[in-house]
Structure 1
Amino acid sequence: MNLAAYIDHTLLKPDCSEADIAQLCREAITHGFAAVCVPPNFVAQAAEQVKCSGVKVATVIGFPLGYNLSTAKMVEAFSAIEDGAHEMDMVMNISAFKSGAIDVVRNDIQAIFAICKAEDVVLKVIIETALLNQNEIKSICELCAEIEVDFVKTSTGFSHSGAVLEDVQLMRQVLPEHIQIKASGGIKTKAQAEAFIEAGASRLGCSSSLQLIR
């Protein structure tokens, strides 16, 4: 298994610097990671550094809490596309979902999906499984399937826990085959990474990517 091809090499720490992002991009090119996932303000830098390498540039929208207004998320999405992003990891409105405001959640996702689809940009919807029970995971996956997003992603990595194997297995059962899964948060070992892929994840968000491929 070429594990590197599954990995979004990720750096989203609030204190990351231009030099850190440059190093992230060099590592991604060297090892053939699928993408780098960087904060919105570093998309242009990353896009310039990885161009012609085959490495994609991903960024985050409404990160990490998700309750930003849809209009704010739309501005983030347009800016990311202008700066060269190929993929967007958008946090759903978890607060609205917990409040039963499903139309708000649906419209929020649809707004960003429409922007992405028009520009051939991949959308990954982060559902933050650590804050959801099994029925809620099933429900939001069904909604994402209805909208036909590209990926459903487990976690931001900023909540109290990250990806859980059983949650990924449930997501794979609920989602149609063409909608992919990204497992993210707390993946520290090669064995963990391989287990998540076996469970149905086709992308892994990792900040410890180098130790996974040794």
Structure 2
Amino acid sequence: MKFSKYFDHTILKADATPADVKRICEEAKKYDFASVCVNSCYTAMVAEELADTDVKVCTVVGFPLGAMSTLSKKLETINAIENGAGEIDMVLKIGELKAGNEGEVLNDIREIKDVCLHNPTWKEVPLKVIIETCLLTEEEKKTACELAVAANADFVKTSTGFSTGGATVEDVALMKQTVAGKAYVKASGGIRDLKTAQAMIEAGADRLGTSATVAIMEAYLAENGQ
């Protein structure tokens, strides 16, 4: 796979302005990243900026805590897809997972997956499930991945980047082993340089989320004489 297509070029900070988001879109088009990942208020603008390219619009849902009602997440997902989202990154109900309420977590993911499959645009939209590894035990990480797979999620994702830690190679490897080819793995949070990005890919990451994407790509191109 083309190296640039590993990356979701990400801008999720609270003080991101429309001008910042447009700059990210221009960078994504220049380097041909997999997607631009934004908060839902920017979905329509990003869809317009990326029209006639193969760079997808990735919108976060229930971000960054995951602690809102399933209905709220469904409505946010519907709105995002109607506004042009081609991928959805949702945060699962972390507290419910830690409380052992697996049925609640499974239903939450299933409801969003259903919207990704059946929505007013008639598009099938890939779903990534953020499990927030830094808040989970090893067993909880495995359970979260198993629930995401049971709900037919397309990816499991390590982190929001807004909690106490981000992706680690150990977590990526554990998630890859747990999903056993039934879902892809996205690593995000703390991926700031080429060495870290390559380590995540070697550990099994199929996609990387980072705001340092341009610096990583420039380092990669320089290393490969491009």
What TM-score results when the alignment is normalised by the length of structure 2?
0.93
CA–CA distance in structure 2, aligned partners of residues 99 and 174 of structure 1: 21
Please report how far the alpha carbon of residue 37 of structure 1 lies from its aligned counterpart in structure 2 after TM superposition: 0.1
2:13 match: 13
Task: After TM superposition, give the deviation of residue 176 of structure 1 in Å.
Answer: 2.6
Question: How far apart in 1 are the matches of 2:202 and 2:151?
Answer: 26
1:33-72 equivalences under 5 Å are 33-72=33-72
- Which consecutive residues of structure 1, in runs of 5 or more, have no partner in the other structure? none
- Residue 223 of structure 2 corresponds to none
1:95 aligned partner, one-letter code: G
Q: Could you tell me how far 1:178 is from its partner in structure 2?
A: 3.7
Q: How many corresponding residue pairs?
A: 214
Q: Which moves more between the two structures, 135-144 or 30-39? A: 135-144
Aligned runs of 1:155-170 on 2, under 5 Å? 155-170=159-174
Among all aligned residue pairs of Structure 1 and Structure 2, give the percentage whose two residues are the same amino acid. Answer: 47
Amino acid in structure 2 at the alignment position of 1:35? S
Q: Residue 159 of structure 1 aligns to a residue in which SS?
A: coil
Q: What is the aligned-residue RMSD (CA, Å)?
A: 0.9
The equivalent of 2:158 in structure 1 is 154
Query: What is the rounded CA distance, in whole Å, between the counterparts of 2:181 and 2:42 in structure 1?
Result: 32
Amino acid at match of 2:177: Q
Residue of structure 2 equivalent to 1:174: 178
* CA distance in structure 2 between the aligned counterparts of 1:161 and 1:207, rounded to whole angstroms: 15
Give the Cα separation in 1 of the matches to 2:42 and 2:184. Answer: 26
Structure 1 runs of 4+ aligned residues shifted over 6 Å read none
Aligned pair 1:92/2:96, yes or no? no
Which residue is 1:185 aligned to? 189
1:59 is aligned with what amino acid?
T
Structure 2 partner of 1:202? 206
Give a deviation string over 1:148-171, Cα, whole Å, max 9, x none.
210000000001110011011011
**2: CA distance, partners of 1:136 / 1:111:** 21
Instruction: Please give the TM-score of this superposition, normalised by the length of structure 1.
Output: 0.98
